Amino acid sequence: DEDQDWGLWVDETMIGFWPKSNYRARYANNVVWGGEVVNQRTRGRHTSTQMGNGHFSSEPIGRVAYISHMALYDLGLNRYDAPQAVNVFLTNPGCYDLKYSQSSDGHDN
């Protein structure tokens, strides 16, 4: 229903939503995935909080945190695979990194 809020689901569990009042249109022009670590320490000290599981993307699968089978769905539940190429933006690559790739079965990692 186009009058409903936008939801984020994992399997059959809603883990987030965006009120329809946040948007001027019924559709999205782009999609953004991201993460954030909040540093509440003052006096210039860097947080020791880990992003993901604390391992860099150059380490082997099984050690690093990753997301697989990313996809988008429209209101009709039609599936759209995530794009093959994305723009990666890192604010502090010495502390946190990201690698976007597709496995040989076409699923995103």
Using one digit for the tens of pLDDT, what is the confidence trace for 43-56? 767 777 777 788 88
According to DSSP, the residues that pair with 7 across neighbouring strands are 17
The string of DSSP letters for 31-45 reads ------------TTP
45/106: higher pLDDT: 45
Confidence check: pLDDT of 103 > 80: no
The pLDDT, as a whole number, for residue 41 is 66
How large is the C-alpha radius of gyration of the chain?
A: 17
The pLDDT, as a whole number, for residue 12 is 84
DSSP state of 24: S
Q: Where are the chain's structural domains?
A: 51-101
109/47: higher pLDDT: 47
Q: Once rounded to an integer, what is the mean pLDDT over residues 4-16?
A: 83
The pLDDT, as a whole number, for residue 60 is 87
Whole-number average pLDDT of the chain: 78
According to DSSP, the residues that pair with 61 across neighbouring strands are 64
Q: What's the pTM value of the predicted model, to 2 decimals?
A: 0.54
Cα-based distances in Å from 109 to 5, 25, 62, 70, 74: 28, 30, 12, 8, 22
